[in-house]
Amino acid sequence: MNNEILFKPNGLILATSNNTITSSEYKLYDTLLQRCQITKDSNWRKAEITRDEIQGLIKDKSKNNLNDLKKVLENFMNVKIRFKLGTKHVGATLLAEYVYDENTDVFSCSMSENVFTALMTYNEIGYSPIDLKMVRQARGFYTQKIYGLLRLWSRHNETINKTYTVEVIKDICDIFDGTAYDMYGNFKKKVLVPALKEINEKLNMKVEYKEIKKIRRVQEIEFIFTDYEPRKYDFEKDKLIEPKEVIGLDEVAITKDDIDSIDYMYLLDFKLNESIHTQFIKDFYNFKEHSISVQTASEKTLSALGGKTINKRNYKYFKTTLENLIPSIDINL
């Protein structure tokens, strides 16, 4: 059974930092996030990991003795990140502190308070599930970063088009102004193309891209991708929980007795009239990952247009509002 799924808050996927870490260190950090998420220790916000486990992730054998591993964690304590937690703009460090126990050979790593809050409230603020075992096959740091960006928007077995500006991708990949990869030619050759090649080969996703030029310069990248990786998991059976709405959705009526992935009362809480439930779930099948945004979009629509519920008359306005509110869009930290 694969129990190494990190329900990574979208804010952390979109986080920007003041310093870069290596590909191996990024895998270690995601592992710590997942351990913290399943441990749920609100007192110490801790994630425990053995020295052997860290050494298994840090591939450079010349830099994985005990003192080197301490330096890696101390570097995490010095890397500052900025991300969004709902409507709040947060500044934090990757790690707050660590304790190494000589008797057990175990590191106890404590997360920053707001990082821990994001991990515990992922279902409210929006998240994207990451299969850590699979992603560890990837060698590249930028592979992991761009894969996360695509997982924000993916739907299981569906082809999606998503456009990001080049500057946004650079920010998320921790490529700083004036550095070698800041030049688009180098960025394309050393970051974008190798990352997409590795995603296609190792991460259960097929992705292509198109360059979008404005004023004779490439300013945006359109990704066209199909994600074959599940977004919902049954951990007891280690298989995908398939939502019924992906097949023949237009002909399916959503009722109180419908499948678990569609909560009838949950939709009513958002003031969504039953007449648009089917269309809403078709447009936003993973709406529970963006519940705060759905609530806000509903409130904004009713405030602007009046009425008591979201219905066929105001649905277009509501849909556009929600698309502009989903956390993965707003990255201006």
Q: 3-class DSSP state for residue 252? A: coil
The CA distance from 117 to 126, in Å, is 13
Q: What is the pLDDT along the chain (333 residues), one digit of tens a residue?
A: 457 999 999 999 999 999 989 999 999 999 999 999 999 999 999 999 999 999 999 878 777 899 999 999 999 999 999 999 888 899 999 999 999 999 999 999 999 999 999 999 988 888 999 999 999 999 999 999 999 999 999 989 999 999 999 999 999 999 999 999 999 999 999 999 999 999 999 999 999 999 999 988 999 999 999 999 998 776 555 444 333 333 333 333 334 343 333 445 556 667 887 778 778 877 776 666 677 778 888 888 888 888 888 988 888 888 888 887 764 443 333
Tell me the CA end-to-end span of the chain in Å, nearest whole number: 38
**Intrachain domains 1-136 and 141-242 with the same fold:** yes
Is residue 48 within 8 A of residue 108, CB to CB? The reply is yes
Task: To the nearest 10°, report the CA torsion of 260, 264, 269, 273.
Answer: 140
3-state helix, strand, coil in the chain (%, to 5): 45, 20, 35
The CATH code that applies to domain 1-136 is: 1.10.10.10
CATH of the structural domain 141-242, one choice from 1.10.10.10, 1.20.1260.10, 3.90.550.10, 2.40.30.170: 1.10.10.10
Q: Residue 254: how many CB atoms within 10 A of its CB?
A: 21
Taking a C-beta distance cutoff of 8 angstroms, is the pair 54, 111 a contact?
A: no
3-state DSSP assignment of residue 314: coil
Domain parsing of the chain, residue ranges = 1-136, 141-242, 244-323
